Amino acid sequence: MDCLFCKIAAKKISSEIIYEDEWVTAFLDVNPLTEGHTLIVPKKHAENILDLDDNAIGPVFAAVKKVTAMLEKSLHPRGFTIGINHGKISGQSIDHLHIHVIPRYTSDGGGSLHSVVHFPPTASLKETKNKILNA
């Protein structure tokens, strides 16, 4: 087992776990963007969302909801940015699916998900829809 997040989920590497159930481990990010920045990882290795077993999707996202509620109750942020970096090009640095729950605070200097990339398509929405549906 060379995967860092598998080792954390198996408690072979210590971390600041704030939530755990049979499906996931949620722990504070060691390089937090804000107070309470948490990573939620499935206990069963999946490199990305497409590799995650269908029966795990519901429990993983239920945990995202639970952790978000815990952070809201305890840290009182003004909002959250919740996201997944899927693949190296998007910034995924550990090849194990992890969902970031990032509390947002007034004047935190962050942006919305719309600020992540700016590469508008040249194809129309209809052309894009047809490409997706016909693949």
Catalytic residues: 98
| Rounded CA separation 1/36 (Å) | 28
Three-state DSSP at 129 gives helix
| Rounded CA separation 66/19 (Å) | 8
Three-state DSSP at 16 gives coil
Q: Residues 75, 18: contact at Cβ < 8 Å?
A: no
Helices then strands, counting H and E runs in the chain, come out as 3, 5
Which residue type does 62 have? A
